[in-house]
Amino acid sequence: MTWFETLGAMLSSPLMQRALIAAVLVGAAAPVVGTFLVQRRLALMGDGLGHVALTGVALGWLVGTWAGLVPQDALAIPGAVVAALIGSVAIEWVRARGRTSGDLALALMFYGGIAGGVLLIKLAGGTNANLVSYLFGSISTVSTGDLWWTAGLAVGVLLVGLGLRHVLFAVSHDEEFARGSGLPVTALNMVVAAMSALTVTIAMRVVGLLLVSALMIVPVAVAQLVVGSFSRVMALASGIGVAVSVVGLSITYWEDIPPGATIVLLAIGLYALAAVTRPLLTRRGAGDAPHDPHPELPDDVALPVVGAGPGAADCRPGAPGGATR
């Protein structure tokens, strides 16, 4: 069988088709949200929400067991959506009340989410093994129902993220100015938080809750090394997200390795590559914009020294020969 035929076989497998569609949608949507999160220095928010979503998965499982649903985890994704949304609103609420306790609230959420998930899954009659597929992703088990959820939410996140990108940039870039422009800042912050929550739940199947944030953040980290404007970072990050998701997933069709981890390691590999090659790329263009990092401020005192040569230290009267520094 040639390489080309293998590719054809991969693309004609319904399971792989579903997985690829999910990967493309998640890979495109997650970095769009991630760009706003990185801009607001909330890169770890996706992680916090991922942990909370785990409690939601277990809660959905518990409700499913009580209601006697046939696949016990039929309500896992709706449960995750609800829990992550509540968590995102809680994080924004804490952030709005006082910045200092923001990371503490995030920490409480991390541990509370994991502990709640482990406890509830036991109550639901499941085992921790059931949670593992949510923690690390199991794209091979994507059902048609899951695909609809993923597609609907990803398209929604993309539409909101791109449609409102100017105003979300304004709020993320300079929150005070946005407030002083009469923008509904709190509501817009909630929109970003809710978008993160939804992204976490749709990426859950592809890369798993523990690695969800990587798909949101790492492509942005790569893109900001390469391009110098917000809109280009967003576009490039989205492209990188799609590329690593599709390539990572395709590799797992031939090799028996976990797709989520493969996708994330590919993205981090790209980051390393960009970080190493960037000095080579920027040196070429360095000549046309000589740049002094010091701001153009007038001196506070009249300085007599014009050329700071070896004798510059002499202008300190009474300095003991500059023996020690």
Partner 1 sequence: MLVTDTTAAEPAVLATGVDVVLGGHQILSGVDLRVERGEVVALLGANGSGKSTLVRALLGIAPRTAGEVRLLGGALGNGVPWERVGYVPQRLPAGGGVPATALEVVMSGLVHGRTLRPPRDARKRALAALDEVGMAAHARRSVLQMSGGQQQRVLIARALVRRPDLLVLDEPTSGIDLPTQETFVATVRRLHEQGGTVLVILHELGSFAGLIDRAVALRHGRVVYDGPPPDPRGEHAGPGHEHTHPHADPPPPDPGTGLSMEVLP
Question: Which residues of the chain form contacts with partner 1 (CB under 8 A)?
Answer: 35, 38-41, 43, 163-164, 166-167, 169-170, 172-183, 220-221, 224, 227-231, 233, 289, 291-292, 294-298
Nearer of residues 76 and 236 to partner 1, judged by Cβ: 236
CB of 181 to partner 1, least distance (A): 4
Residue 232 Cβ, how far from partner 1 at the closest point, in Å?
9
User: Cβ(234)–Cβ(224) under 8 Å?
Assistant: no
- Cβ distance to partner 1 smaller for residue 54 or 267: 267
Shortest CB 213 distance to partner 1, Å: 14
Nearer to partner 1, 207 or 234 (CB): 234
Report the alpha-carbon angle 124-128-129, nearest 5.
115
Neighbour count for residue 186 (Cβ, 10 Å) = 14
Q: Which is nearer to partner 1, 38 or 198 (CB)?
A: 38
Give the shortest CB-317-to-partner 1 separation in angstroms: 22
What CA–CA distances, in Å, run from 237 to 34, 199, 248?
A: 9, 15, 16
| Rounded-to-integer distance, Cα 135 and Cα 40, Å | 26
Q: Give 289's contacts (C-beta < 8 A, 6+ positions apart).
A: none
Q: How far is the CB of 191 from partner 1 (least distance, A)?
A: 10
What CA–CA distance (Å, rounded) separates 213 from 206? 12
- Cβ nearer to partner 1, comparing 38 with 139: 38
Instruction: Judge contact between 221 and 38, C-beta under 8 A.
Output: yes
Tell me whether residue 55 or residue 172 sits nearer to partner 1 (CB atom): 172
| Dist. CA 293–CA 285, nearest whole Å | 17
Rounded (5°) CA angle 251-253-255? 65
CB of 200 to partner 1, least distance (A): 20
